[in-house]
Structure 1
Amino acid sequence: MSLDPQAKALLDQLAADPDAPRLIDLPPEGGREMYRAMANMLDLQGVPIGKTEDRAIPGPASDIPVRIYTPVAGGGTGPALVYYHGGGWVIGDLDTHDALCRTLANEAGCKVIAVDYRLAPEHPFPAAIDDAFAAVKWVEANSSEIGIDPNGIAVAGDSAGGNLAAAVCLRAKAEKGPE
């Protein structure tokens, strides 16, 4: 089995400079810049998508940036996936996970609403969870406007985003749904 060529190129670049800073050793903003650069290097260029729309939705402390992806074959009302990016609560954003969200929308045949929740350490717990829950509530409340079935909303994420998806499910159960 061989290593993916893009992953190999990234690992080779990191090994070429043993004195380069490690992501974990950088302050938050430096780590975010390095993560964006790594994401750009590994990004699948030109993933087609039917449509994207950036919005700012009301949040518990400030507006929450979201990006709505409509798949290439996406017409009419259908299901939606609310997606929370990974990044250890500190790094990651809409752009670092753009190709992934495009791919998810096309492969799943549903709209994907990516959520750019507030990051630590500037915004400590429970800011990210509050934003994540506010976003799924907004998606449900605005389902007809964004063309989704309010009974067909799922949540998902990677890494810290997966934790947020689980926390949103537990909170929705405790509060008897997003409404």
Structure 2
Amino acid sequence: MAELNPKMKYFLENLVPAYPDGYTPTLEDIRSRASVSFGEVELVHKVEDRTIQGPESLLPIRIYTPEGDGPFPVLVYFHGGGFVYGDLESHDAVCRAIVNASQQIVVAVDYRLAPENPFPAAVHDCYAAAKWVFENAEELNGDPGKFSVAGDSAGGNLATVVCLLAKEKGGFSISKQVLLYPVTDSFNPEKYDSYRENGSGYFLTLENIGLFSKLYVQNEEYAFHPHAAPMNAEDLSGLPPALIITAEYDPLRDEGELYAEKLKDAGVPVTVRREEGQIHGFFNFFSMMDSKGDIEEVYETIGSFLNEKEVSKS
């Protein structure tokens, strides 16, 4: 394995809250940790907050538009946070960086969170938001013919599940999916080496994952539902080309890479990029430390993938 990235090592040693030995962080602890303020963010030509009608409530969205005449390709972004925390602010820096790397419109979605709104509330919100953005793309100066989805961690799960739903229900077409260290399986620590190797000491712990899973999927009947764990989908054929980025020191590394293999086996073009020396959440953490430039190449990879006219299998 590569050496742990020095800035991620600094982050873990100095910026992650320390709890007493034997203390299990509560959801309130985790949510308060997630409200850490970020450093300076990149400038984007236009940023607009709006609300749209969701399945059961109004959904806040944030629309980032690059400079230029358009119409621009459109990317809908679903934030991470274990399905239990995160919002438009927590991933503002990441969305801005993607806009500038891709020169695409990015629409971030503030979906409902568990445990107050367990599965499938977030799935329903994200599908409804993606459909709304697709149907209103021209009003946003976007091109519905170049329409993609993306997300990190829990948001990566939601992005690929939205692709499954778009395939199942029809009505709108997704060109590409970008999954950043995604959740793709049910909580199976015995199944993946990366859970054993990275389940403690690297920010995202086995205890956190177990808590998030329990709070999100509260009905055991849904535990292996493909809309909760897309790894269990029987047919992944016909899904949009995917870019999947994993992190070497992440418990979720192996399930993200195995999902990539399942997509490939189903005939879906997939590009996989494992970031050596990185931990789960590194996109946010570099932004938090005003070090986004350290992963400029990763953002350039995202921008290049989104703007490729044709995606080949790899």
Q: Same fold (TM over 0.5)?
A: yes
Q: Could you tell me how far apart the structure 2 residues matched to 1:152 and 1:89 are?
A: 27
Alignment of 1:118-133 (within 5 A): 118-133=112-127
Change (3 A) 1:18 1:89: closer
Q: Could you tell me how far apart the structure 1 residues matched to 2:80 and 2:155 are?
A: 5
| Residue of structure 1 equivalent to 2:308 | none
| Residue of structure 1 equivalent to 2:296 | none
- Is the contact between residue 74 and residue 110 of structure 1 (CA under 8 Å) also seen in structure 2? no
RMSD between superposed Cα atoms in Å? 2.3
Structure 1, unpaired ranges of 5+: none
- Is the contact between residue 35 and residue 91 of structure 1 (CA under 8 Å) also seen in structure 2? yes
Corresponding residue to 2:62 among 67, 74, 83: 67
Structure 2, unpaired ranges of 5+: 174-314
Q: Could you tell me how far apart the structure 1 residues matched to 2:4 and 2:33 are?
A: 26
Runs of 4+ with deviation above 2 angstroms = 1-5, 7-10, 12-22
- Is the contact between residue 143 and residue 150 of structure 1 (CA under 8 Å) also seen in structure 2? yes
- Is the contact between residue 64 and residue 115 of structure 1 (CA under 8 Å) also seen in structure 2? yes
Alignment of 1:101-116 (within 5 A): 101-116=95-110
| Residue of structure 2 equivalent to 1:19 | 20
User: Per-residue CA shift, 1:86-140, capped at 9, x if unaligned?
Assistant: 1110011111100100000110110000001000000011100000000011101
Decide which structure has the larger Cα Rg and report it: 2
Corresponding residue to 1:3 among 2, 5, 10: 5
Q: Could you tell me how far apart the structure 1 residues matched to 2:33 and 2:83 are?
A: 15
Count, aligned residues: 171
Q: Could you tell me how far apart the structure 1 residues matched to 2:110 and 2:122 are?
A: 9
Q: Could you tell me how far apart the structure 2 residues matched to 1:58 and 1:21 are?
A: 44
Shift of 1:35: 1.1
User: Per-residue CA shift, 1:20-53, capped at 9, x if unaligned?
Assistant: 997x6222x432221121xx3xx35131111100
Letter paired with 1:173:
K
Q: Could you tell me how far apart the structure 2 residues matched to 1:2 and 1:31 are?
A: 24
Q: TM-score, normalised by structure 2?
A: 0.50
Q: TM-score, normalised by structure 1?
A: 0.86
Percent identical residues: 47
Letter paired with 1:57:
I
Q: Could you tell me how far apart the structure 2 residues matched to 1:174 and 1:97 are?
A: 29
Shift of 1:150: 1.1
1:82 maps onto 2:76 in alignment: yes
Higher RCO structure (Cα 8 Å, ≥6 apart)? 1
- Is the contact between residue 74 and residue 111 of structure 1 (CA under 8 Å) also seen in structure 2? no
1:46 maps onto 2:48 in alignment: no
Change (3 A) 1:146 1:14: closer
Corresponding residue to 1:141 among 130, 135, 139: 135
